[in-house]
């Protein structure tokens, strides 16, 4: 099973890394450090820690044990890294975390996340994340990774909308499998974006296929790169305004910041996005006033097969007030022109 931002079956002692061809020729310690930062930031696996794990024989490529930190990747492969312990990683529940539950049974829960709520933290020292709230309400002892228990897939802090959370390990494993072919889990988002520049005509519907990797100059930012991991986003223009567009998006993969990176890359960055706004020009004062204090991105639809009952479950979330207010302002502004 490939590692990705949607999650994966995660043994508490073994991590799996899909190493793509773009890493060929690079040292194993450098590659695993980069992938660990992206896939498992909460483990704080620094390069020195990775080097020590390699020296201890905790890294394997296929059936071969790697003990040299200077070993160079020759081709696409899967690396397995075994950790010795997770002492002190269990989270304490936080009763003050607010999240809306739209569906719940003994196996899973679907929540409607508010913008501003962090899914899980990096070092585990803080409280107030969704993970802390889930632990308080459901326990989740031994369900997946102890720092992100039950988490099947993630949303950025300032992205609102639907998520499914597993309440036991069996359900977690089966939900994670639905992200892989034949794909059974589907997520649809709505975003309010800039209009494309006049020099760049875009079809009303299309597919964005562009690999994504971490920005070498900014470790908290992602970017399109030939050496990155494959990423695919389907889009459809729903409504066009003078200065913006309402766009519907469906994820085929789940890379970090995927929608935000892909939309910026084709010249239509999301309004309000503080990170991915290359090419943006100043909006009219009327629009600036009603801009959300975050990227205008909402996970509006979620469907999947229930792992136990095999029933197809589908959920929809209305646009939150800040995005709905922005769209209404865009319509009013256009109507007055």
The tally of domains found in the chain comes to: 3
Mean pLDDT, the chain, integer: 87
pTM higher than 0.95 for the full model?
no
Phi-psi region of 101 (alpha: psi -120 to 50; beta: other; left: phi over 0): beta
We report the CATH number of the domain holding residue 53 as: 3.10.290.10
Please indicate whether residue 6 is annotated as part of the active site.
no
pLDDT for 10: 39
Q: Which residue has the higher pLDDT, 134 or 41?
A: 134
> Residue 296 corresponds to which tokens in the numbers above?
């205008």
Task: Please report whether residue 277 resides in a domain.
Answer: yes
Shared domain for 315 and 207, answered yes or no, is yes
Task: Please report whether residue 240 resides in a domain.
Answer: yes
Q: Percent of the chain beyond pLDDT 90? A: 54
Q: Which residue has the higher pLDDT, 1 or 143?
A: 143
pLDDT for 89: 59
pLDDT for 113: 96
> Which residue among 177, 211, 246 closes a domain?
177
Q: If you search the block for the tokens 């501003």, which residue do you land on? A: 116
Backbone angles phi, psi at 245, to 5 degrees: -145, 150
CA 192 to chain centre: 19
Q: Mention every residue, 6+ apart, whose C-beta is less than 8 A from residue 238.
A: 190, 245, 246, 247, 248
Shared domain for 118 and 207, answered yes or no, is no
> Which residue among 145, 177, 209 closes a domain?
177
Shared domain for 120 and 191, answered yes or no, is no
> Which residue among 50, 82, 114 closes a domain?
82
> DSSP 3-state assignment of 241?
coil
- Average pLDDT for residues 116-122, to the nearest whole number? 82
- Average pLDDT for residues 193-205, to the nearest whole number? 86
Of residues 155, 262, 264, the one with CA closest to residue 207: 262
Shared domain for 231 and 118, answered yes or no, is no
Task: Please report whether residue 272 resides in a domain.
Answer: yes
Shared domain for 248 and 293, answered yes or no, is yes
Question: Tell me, what DSSP letter sits at residue 229?
Answer: B
Catalytic site residue from 6, 29, 94, 156: 156
Of residues 58, 54, 56, the one with CA closest to residue 71: 54
Q: Mention every residue, 6+ apart, whose C-beta is less than 8 A from residue 3.
A: 15, 16, 17, 18, 35, 39
pLDDT for 1: 31
- Indicate whether 199 pLDDT > 70: no
CA 289 to chain centre: 29
Distance (Å, whole) CA 248 – CA 188? 7
Q: At what angle do helices 28-39 and 47-55 cross, to 10 degrees?
A: 120
Confidence class of residue 45 from pLDDT cuts 50, 70 and 90? confident
Q: Which residue segment(s) compose the domain that 150 sits in?
A: 100-177
Shared domain for 119 and 138, answered yes or no, is yes
pLDDT tens digits along 256-288: 899 999 999 999 999 999 999 987 778 888 889
């Amino acid at each position: 099973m490939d590692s990705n931002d949607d999650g994966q079956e995660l043994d508490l002692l073994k991590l799996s890394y899909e190493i793509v061809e773009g890493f060929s020729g690079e040292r194993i310690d450098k590659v695993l450090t980069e992938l660990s930062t992206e896939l498992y930031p909460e483990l704080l696996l620094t390069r020195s820690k990775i080097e020590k794990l390699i020296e201890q024989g905790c890294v394997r490529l296929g059936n071969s044990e790697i003990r040299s930190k200077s070993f160079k990747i020759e081709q696409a492969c899967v690396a397995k890294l075994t950790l010795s312990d997770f002492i002190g990683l269990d989270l304490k529940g936080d009763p003050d975390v607010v999240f809306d539950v739209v569906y719940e049974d003994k196996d899973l829960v679907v929540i409607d996340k508010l913008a501003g709520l962090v899914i899980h933290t990096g070092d585990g020292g803080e409280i107030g994340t969704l993970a802390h709230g889930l632990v308080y309400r459901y326990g989740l002892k031994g369900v997946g990774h102890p720092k992100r228990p039950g988490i099947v897939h993630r949303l950025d802090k300032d992205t609102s909308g639907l998520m499914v959370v597993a309440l036991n390990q069996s359900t977690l494993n089966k939900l994670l499998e639905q992200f892989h072919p034949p794909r059974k889990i589907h997520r649809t988002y709505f975003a309010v974006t800039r209009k494309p520049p006049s020099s760049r005509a875009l079809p009303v519907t299309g597919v964005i296929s562009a690999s994504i990797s971490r920005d070498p100059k900014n470790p908290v930012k992602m970017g399109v790169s030939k050496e990155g991991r494959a990423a695919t986003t389907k889009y459809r223009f729903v409504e066009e305004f003078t200065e913006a567009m309402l766009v519907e998006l469906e994820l085929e993969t789940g890379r970090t910041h995927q929608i935000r990176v892909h939309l910026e890359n084709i010249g239509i960055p999301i309004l309000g996005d503080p990170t991915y706004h290359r090419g943006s020009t100043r909006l009219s004062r009327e629009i600036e006033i009603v801009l959300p204090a975050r990227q205008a991105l909402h996970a509006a639809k979620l469907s999947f097969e229930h792992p136990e009952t095999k029933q197809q479950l589908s959920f929809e979330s209305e646009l939150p007030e800040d995005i709905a207010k922005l769209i209404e302002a865009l319509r009013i502004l256009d109507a007055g022109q």
